[in-house]
Structure 1
Amino acid sequence: MKLRKIIVKDNIYLYIMTGKIDLPAQEGILTIKIFLKDYKLTPLLVDFRTWDDPIIGFPLNFGFPLSESLTGKKEVVNLNRPKYVRECILYGLQKGWTGKNKLEPLDGLEIVANLGYDVSVLSVNKGDTK
């Protein structure tokens, strides 16, 4: 898969999205890996840990309707839209990432929740048969 480009606050970033399944945990982990241009050794990693569907795959990769916490209005959230990658970058910058340093992977669902969405429908509930 090819790196995509986005410009945020006059800086050029490159990013790629990958996914993996943790079968024992019945969890899908969709990761956005973001690099400041020319700094490929210090990426920002944002992990979106959700349930995984054998037919549709990762819900946020194809788009999933989430309710806005305040209004209840539903909006389809698709991480392939640049606005969500931009929010990940801004959140990483707020947490101390400069593009030239490493951070522990960030919780992507926390970012989506901070945007005002109810992410509880995406959580993997242990013991739930779904």
Structure 2
Amino acid sequence: MLPLARAVPPPQPDQAAFFRFRQSTLGYRGPSEDFTNLTEIRLGWFGPTNLSDPLHGDLWWAANFALDQANAARSDAGRGTSDFQQLPFRLIARWAVDPWGTGVSQLSRMVYDAQPLALLGSVDSASTHLAEQVVA
């Protein structure tokens, strides 16, 4: 037997693992910036904005309807516990007929220029995949 092999003791079964990944969660660390001077809460929309679109027009209508309802509820509620709760929502849309080409560059530009606090995915899994890659 080699002398080095005798020098290293075998692992003990009672030793605890350094870190157990299954016992911890990633957790949300919160926004990285201070949002004290916001005038509105911008939400990004990566999808078509044509209401007459036979496949996706209803999605755009529903997103706008949801924001209209949320803004109406905020104004009806009166003064909230913080100024952030009184800010209106605004939907910022970006889309192109070719989402894998021009669309994703428009989306990237919107994320950096308009700085939405959240991004709504898209109308199909392939386009939503692009949105996930931009925000990751």
Higher helix share: 2
Structure with higher RCO (Cα < 8 A, 6+ apart): 2
Higher strand share: 1
TM over 0.5: no
* Rg larger for: 2
TM-score bin, normalised by smaller chain: under 0.3
Normalized against structure 2, the TM-score is what? 0.26
